[in-house]
Chain A
């Protein structure tokens, strides 16, 4: 993982299609103006791309064509994006390849509707990113712990953002009495957050409000889990950074809400039991 190439940016596309692949050759004809390729890139160039693929009613060769097209689309857009970046700055990729020193570590949800860079306007190189189901930070998860350790100790990020979102499928699943197999151990962490805040959550009669509040409390607890790490505590003690923020993204309005977790107070509170700085 690397901050230098946000997945969404790599796959961006311009209005004009410069080098269509053979499968998209038909688009050459309707790309006479910038606007035409914009208008018809989805409806004509890729006729087999409905918003929801009903693969149950499609024959095998149509599915196969669809898969080929939706695959090739990514390379097509990537080529356009790379050409655009180079056109804007011929040294863009030389600089990008020379190294990274991102300011932010972003711990967000895997949900496809919350592309971290797109909603924050962060450019390649500005944010180191980890995304998993329901933006969880579990102390036994070496995957997330490696990310946090690398971001703090090696990249020396200044801010760590745990960003959840209303409408989170992981949080929703953890509120239902279903056995989800391999997802159970992962979602258990959210059920634990519920248990920790049971008294407050049970005051909500409205399930939607309880759900929204659990999303917020989950972010707050994951921030706390970041603050429990040795890397965070030691770095903050020695250098005064990074600081941890808890945010929630609203799918209905596209706005990030700062939960104002109170980093320093939380740190002091956490250190009563989880102090790993070697100092009292």
Chain B
């Protein structure tokens, strides 16, 4: 926080934090006697990732199409001009676009054209996708593959490549699980050792699962 003095270079940061906190709490309590009772009552507003923190582009099925000028302009502005530190491509479970791409019927209008990259993913991973009997899981898997493909396109973007080289820009792919509200790191991109939760490395036909000190290859 801008108005907090920085922690001293030497000495115990926790001690510093606790003593500063005491002072802060005393001040807040004096300034507004209801401040802490209100906090304790559970009515406290959430602190969100603040306005000004995330530059956002949202489109149907979070598709990154290399020649799409809309997405390209967003990337150019965010990476070259605003110099963001992270580019996060976020897909999600129960995606209508993924379901449409997995189906055989036309959606109609311009949507089929927009969803073509997903259709291509479906064709490229047909064997794996058709081996998944549960429709929801199949949609989740194509959403993951879509994020993976999108991250590869991001990494092939020259503005992003330059930023990676010049200042260590990080590109990453995540999936939002609507059923649990949790973000899952897919371990794709250039974040190196980030890895997926439970250390799952997905290949085209096999998953290498690391748990504890053991590793097992599960062929799907």
Contacts and interface: CB of A to CB of B under 8 A. Distances in A.
Interface of A: 1-2, 4-5, 7-15, 26, 29-30, 32-36, 38-40, 42-44, 47, 51, 53, 55, 60, 63-64, 66-67, 70-71, 74-75, 77-79, 81-82, 84-86, 92-94, 96-97, 99, 110-115, 118-119, 129-133, 136, 138, 141-147, 149-150, 153-154, 169-170, 180-183, 185-187, 230-231
A154 B55 CA distance: 27
A132 B57 contact: yes
Given A43-B1, A113-B51, A185-B73, 8 more contacts: A1-B97, A2-B96, A2-B178, A38-B47, A42-B1, A81-B181, A112-B53, A143-B59
B209 interface: no
A55 to B, nearest CB: 6
B46 A12 contact: yes
A34 B40 contact: yes
Contacts of A169: 77, 81
Contacts of A77: 48-49
A1 B58 contact: yes
A9 B40 contact: no
Contact of A44 (B2, B7, B44, B183): B7
A26 B14 contact: yes
Interface of B: 1-2, 4, 6-7, 13-14, 16-18, 20-21, 24-25, 28, 36, 39-40, 44, 46-49, 51-62, 65, 68-74, 76-78, 81, 85-86, 88, 90, 92-97, 107-111, 113-115, 159, 167-168, 170, 172, 176, 178-183, 185, 191, 194
B21 A36 contact: yes
B7 A129 contact: no
Contact of A186 (B52, B69, B85, B185): B69
B111 A186 contact: no
A63 B168 CA distance: 8
Nearest to A184: B73
B78 to A, nearest CB: 7
B86 A70 contact: yes
A110 B55 contact: yes
A73 to B, nearest CB: 8
B58 to A, nearest CB: 5
A97 B168 contact: no
Given A33-B25, A92-B181, A115-B51, A182 B73 contact: yes
A82 B179 CA distance: 10
Given A8-B54, A26-B14, A74-B88, A82 B109 contact: no
Nearest to A47: B7
